[in-house]
């Protein structure tokens, strides 16, 4: 699991399956299954300090900005449905064209699709711990690889069926134009558009440290790359709003088109690999570490999609995140129940982060031996 998840979408409740008592945080010595049905309920614990809530607030603000920007693009396009206007999420529908270029043609159809729903917020997740997945330890904690099970809709976007969109388009055109085009608006038969040949260039966005000064840390360079030629439509659009909705198997079965696809057969949950850090009893280090992850700005977690030129290397080098992804800090919700009595058995808090890198190995000098 490498994806960034906004803190507001992390599961509030975590069900921890720990048959070998890994949560006692006493080390990797216990290998025998003690209690196969040992399940504990944890809850998400996030700090409310202003320095720790800023990224949460920024994530929510970014979501509102994206929704506002998408609506602005749609409104501008509907006010001037033309190829020169930025197009909203949708499909351009035109017949295959092999005729001459720059010859007038009838307007193309643009099908506006509904906005894709955001990824769901997980109300509950499951974590599976095993002493066989021990990774390492430090002065304050033990580290294990773990399986994290979440609703699939938290990680995978909902799907819209293009076949259903095309069927719906045909139905709308018959409703508006009549079965034989008898009620069709004649402006859609006017030769107001054309097909043109357009040459595009692929630009490389590079960052280099060469030429940097004390005041300028990074130098960005734009270089023109390969060129390609394509035939595109220019002119007004006939806008059709699709009535097809996005599909989620958790709500209802897929349509008959998607049911035929092999990837439509899947469970409603998915398991991913994460790292679980457990704190030694009476140690507060893990809680402080969790606060640090909440304080870090979002770009600390981002995989940069461009390239860096890092002399003396001549080849572009991708840039990764500075820290592992943060998947929440969880604490036991209540005391452990055993039969008819409640005990005070120690259950470690859990810090969930991305499983990345290799454990550090201490290097000892000759004097240390």
Give the model's pLDDT for residue 242.
Answer: 96
Query: What pLDDT is stored for residue 25 in this prediction?
Result: 83
The length of the chain, given as a count of residues: 369
Overall number of domains in the chain: 1
288 Cβ contact list (under 8 Å, min separation 6)? none
Give a yes or no: residue 2 inside a domain.
no
pTM as predicted: 0.77
Low-confidence ranges of the chain (pLDDT < 50): 212, 216, 337-340, 364, 369
The span from the CA of 369 to the CA of 367, in Å, is: 6
* Residue 312 is assigned to a structural domain of this protein: yes
Residue 37 lies in a domain: yes
CA distances 309 to 205, 211, 214, Å, are 10, 12, 19
Asked if residues 112 and 89 have their Cβ atoms less than 8 Å apart, the reply is: yes
30 vs 33: CA distance, rounded Å: 8
**Of residues 77, 108, 78, 80, the one with CA closest to residue 93:** 108
Range of the domain at 147: 7-368
Question: Nearest-CA neighbor of 155 among 39, 250, 296, 243?
Answer: 250
pLDDT (0 to 100) of residue 340: 47
Q: Quick one: which of 362, 348, 344 has its CA closest to 146?
A: 348
For residue 1, tell me if it sits in a domain: no
- Domain for residue 102, yes or no? yes
pLDDT of residue 341: 52
Tell whether 248 is covered by a domain.
Answer: yes
Give the 3-state secondary structure of 180-212: CCCCCCHHHHCCCEEEEEEEEEEEEEEEECCCC
User: Is the Cα dihedral 151, 152, 158, 160 positive or negative?
Assistant: negative
């Amino acid at each position: 699991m490498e994806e960034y998840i906004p803190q507001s979408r992390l599961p509030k409740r975590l069900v921890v399956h720990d048959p070998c008592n890994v949560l006692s945080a006493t080390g990797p010595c216990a290998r025998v299954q003690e209690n196969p049905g040992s399940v504990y309920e944890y809850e998400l614990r996030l700090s409310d300090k202003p320095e720790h809530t800023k990224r949460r607030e920024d994530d929510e603000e970014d979501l509102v900005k994206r929704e506002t920007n998408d609506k602005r693009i749609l409104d501008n396009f509907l006010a001037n449905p033309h190829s020169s206007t930025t197009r909203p999420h949708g499909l351009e529908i035109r017949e295959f064209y092999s005729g001459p270029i720059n010859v007038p043609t009838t307007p193309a159809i643009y099908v506006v699709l509904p906005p894709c729903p955001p990824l769901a917020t997980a109300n509950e997740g499951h974590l599976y711990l095993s002493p066989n997945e021990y990774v390492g330890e430090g002065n304050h904690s033990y580290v294990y690889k773990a399986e994290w099970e979440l609703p699939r809709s938290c990680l995978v976007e909902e799907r819209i069926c293009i076949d259903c969109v095309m069927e719906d388009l045909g139905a709308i055109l018959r409703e508006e134009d009549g079965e034989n085009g008898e009620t069709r608006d004649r402006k859609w038969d006017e030769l107001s558009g054309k097909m043109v040949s357009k040459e595009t260039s692929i630009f490389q966005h590079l960052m280099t440290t060469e030429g940097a000064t004390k005041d300028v840390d990074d130098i960005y360079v734009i270089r023109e790359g390969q060129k390609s030629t394509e035939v595109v439509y220019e002119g007004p659009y006939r806008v059709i709003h699709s009535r097809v909705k996005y599909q989620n198997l958790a709500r209802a079965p897929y349509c008959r088109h998607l049911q035929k696809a092999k990837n439509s057969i899947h469970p409603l949950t998915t398991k991913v690999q994460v790292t679980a850090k457990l704190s030694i009893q009476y140690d507060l280090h893990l809680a402080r570490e969790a606060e640090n992850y909440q304080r870090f700005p979002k770009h600390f977690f981002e995989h940069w999609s461009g390239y860096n030129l890092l002399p003396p290397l001549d080849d572009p080098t991708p840039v990764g995140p500075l820290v592992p992804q943060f998947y929440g800090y969880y604490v036991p919700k209540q005391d452990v129940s055993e039969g008819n009595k409640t005990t005070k058995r120690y259950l470690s808090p859990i810090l969930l982060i991305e499983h990345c890198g290799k454990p550090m190995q201490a290097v000892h000098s000759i004097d240390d031996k």
